[in-house]
Chains A and B, each alone.
Chain A
Amino acid sequence: MQFFFEVLIGGLLSGVLYALVALGFVLIFKASGVFNFAQGAMVFFAALTFVGFLEVLPGWTGLEEGGRAVFWLAFVLSLGAMVLLAIATERVVLRPLVNQPPITLFMATIGLTFLVEGIAQGIWGANVRGLDLGIQDEPIEYMMENFNILISSFDVFAATVAAILVAALALFFQYTRIGRALRAVADDHQAALSIGIPLRHIWVIVWAVAGFVALVAGMIWGARNGVQFALTFTALKALPVLILGGFTSVPGAIVGGLIIGASEKLAEVYVGPFVGGGIESWFPYILALGFLLIRPEGLFGERHIDRV
């Protein structure tokens, strides 16, 4: 039983991290109807930019290496880079393709993926880097001693950060002018336009927010596995979360992440050994697929009734 809980809790915590990546997809899909394939590349780009600045800033500014000042300066600069990326994306990719069918926009984001990957590695090089956020990835002793359940302190930290981020985004959507405008756009582009919300600004903002989410996700995943090209693969973990939770639902991404995280771990541990293991590559997809058969619009997706 103790093992079961260990796996379950570990899975739920991982699930939060999947949700974090899925969140970026949801934001963009909600506001602009674009299935942004480049989200994984953005995570990579953000993390690499952050680590890159950490490396070069001490030399440029004379700040103490590894210090707080460098950390926050790098964070702000990376955020700036993500905003620039958002502006460039809107200008170069989205604006000329407005009103094109979704598949064309999807394809354009694939082109964007190559661009972003090439730029990231072109500027910062292909070296694999470590990232230390100062939180040790070790078992929490209290849980170990009292319940013999292993829970990683880093995962708890990451989950907390993700939770704060989600809460902050929810507040942002609910209570700010921009947030309300974003929701209006998500509900109805035409209507939003007609009441005078500049769609272009909204797109830039939402891509920038998605860039911010990518930066946080990239930092956490980068601290877990190193800052390297493989960060783009985190997108693969996020996709089943996305279809399970619904493309347009922020809470869906969270709940979907928890379900996927927990069930894939339990499946790998309890089912994997009987079929040769390694089922984590497809299990979340099959799970999500089975779920979709029951609810085709995802957990929290908007139900679509065909009107004829």
Chain B
Amino acid sequence: MAREIGDVVLKMEGISLSFGGVKALTNISFDVREHEIRSIIGPNGAGKSSMLNVINGVYHPQEGQVTFRGEVRRDMEPHKAAKQGIARTFQNIALFKGMSVLDNIMTGRNLKMTCNLFQHALHWGAARKEEIEHRRKVEEVIDFLEIQSIRKTPVGRLPYGLQKRVELGRALAAEPSLLLLDEPMAGMNVEEKQDMCRFILDVNDQFGTTIVLIEHDMGVVMDISDRVVVLDYGKKIGDGEPDEVKNNPDVISAYLGTSH
């Protein structure tokens, strides 16, 4: 690949998270480098989604620290994470069901819009210009994801695969520097998976976006990831390049279910 992997942009150190006594994550550390595709894998309940939720502030870990672009923190509010350029998608699609595809993706740009309520109410001058300018950006995303024909459709009416794509679009509209994708290919057929893979690689390639990915499909993960973290029961059991991880005995036993 043409892109250059850069320095570490995100560093997780000793993260522990529990819900009322139930431990979801135990003392986990790993890092993410600029421009790379970093995957988190593990069996169900391994704590993968919790990890993403810690990164962008939805969950607040009890211990550990997160360093993102030099700023050290333990927890933060999700909207601040968004402001710092972290965008994400969700395991169970979290689109705004009552809105059209276009509006959903437009919401992704809300942080870049500066007009206030009164300007919106009048919809004149700056507000109008802003709306059109951002519409243009959103249309670029729509073109990129090849969903032109459904832009005015309410997302609730779309099939699952397209909804996933729209959700990616909403995240991309924010022009993030770090993109967190939670099982972007779950429940898709082979063809849809291929499309999605292509989009992920293109995003990484064209925009240079750093991507943290959770995925179950091992084939896909091993194909597109630069490095992989393996979690099991909230603990890290492996970390490294795909080939390295593939041959890690702990990982093998976790996936085959022999060690527990």
Please determine if A and B sit in direct contact within the complex, based on CB atoms under 8 angstroms apart. yes
Q: Which residue of A lies closest to B90 (CB)?
A: A308
Chain B residues near A307 (CB-CB < 8 A): 92
Q: Which residue of A lies closest to B49 (CB)?
A: A308
Within the complex, the shortest CB–CB distance from B113 to chain A, in Å, comes to: 24
Is the CB of B256 closer than 8 A to any CB of chain A?
Answer: no
Please report the C-alpha to C-alpha distance between residue A300 and residue B92 in the assembled complex, in whole angstroms. Answer: 29
Q: B19–A308 contact, CB under 8 A?
A: no
Is the CB of A195 closer than 8 A to any CB of chain B?
Answer: no
Please report the C-alpha to C-alpha distance between residue A308 and residue B49 in the assembled complex, in whole angstroms. Answer: 8
Contact residues of B between 74 and 107, Cβ < 8 Å to A: 90-92, 94
Chain A residues near B29 (CB-CB < 8 A): none
Within the complex, the shortest CB–CB distance from A308 to chain B, in Å, comes to: 5
Within the complex, the shortest CB–CB distance from B88 to chain A, in Å, comes to: 9
Is the CB of B26 closer than 8 A to any CB of chain A?
Answer: no
Q: B90–A305 contact, CB under 8 A?
A: no
Chain A residues near B90 (CB-CB < 8 A): 308
Q: Which residue of A lies closest to B19 (CB)?
A: A305
Q: Which residue of B lies closest to A306 (CB)?
A: B58
Interface SS, A side? loop
Chain A residues near B53 (CB-CB < 8 A): 308
Contact residues of A between 259 and 308, Cβ < 8 Å to B: 305, 307-308
Please report the C-alpha to C-alpha distance between residue A308 and residue B93 in the assembled complex, in whole angstroms. Answer: 9
Chain A residues near B92 (CB-CB < 8 A): 307-308
Within the complex, the shortest CB–CB distance from A68 to chain B, in Å, comes to: 55
Please report the C-alpha to C-alpha distance between residue A308 and residue B52 in the assembled complex, in whole angstroms. Answer: 10
Within the complex, the shortest CB–CB distance from A307 to chain B, in Å, comes to: 8
Chain B residues near A308 (CB-CB < 8 A): 49, 53, 58, 90-92, 94
Please report the C-alpha to C-alpha distance between residue A305 and residue B91 in the assembled complex, in whole angstroms. Answer: 16
Within the complex, the shortest CB–CB distance from A237 to chain B, in Å, comes to: 34
Please report the C-alpha to C-alpha distance between residue A74 and residue B19 in the assembled complex, in whole angstroms. Answer: 54
Please report the C-alpha to C-alpha distance between residue A305 and residue B94 in the assembled complex, in whole angstroms. Answer: 15
Please report the C-alpha to C-alpha distance between residue A308 and residue B53 in the assembled complex, in whole angstroms. Answer: 8
Please report the C-alpha to C-alpha distance between residue A127 and residue B90 in the assembled complex, in whole angstroms. Answer: 60
Please report the C-alpha to C-alpha distance between residue A173 and residue B94 in the assembled complex, in whole angstroms. Answer: 37
Chain A residues near B91 (CB-CB < 8 A): 308
Within the complex, the shortest CB–CB distance from A296 to chain B, in Å, comes to: 16
Contact residues of B between 12 and 64, Cβ < 8 Å to A: 19, 49, 53, 58
Chain A residues near B49 (CB-CB < 8 A): 308
Residues of B in contact with A (beta carbons under 8 Å apart): 19, 49, 53, 58, 90-92, 94
Could you list 6 further interchain pairs (A-B, Cβ under 8 angstroms) beyond the known A307-B92, A308-B58, A308-B94? A305-B19, A308-B49, A308-B53, A308-B90, A308-B91, A308-B92
CB pairs A–B below 8 angstroms (9 shown): A305-B19, A307-B92, A308-B49, A308-B53, A308-B58, A308-B90, A308-B91, A308-B92, A308-B94
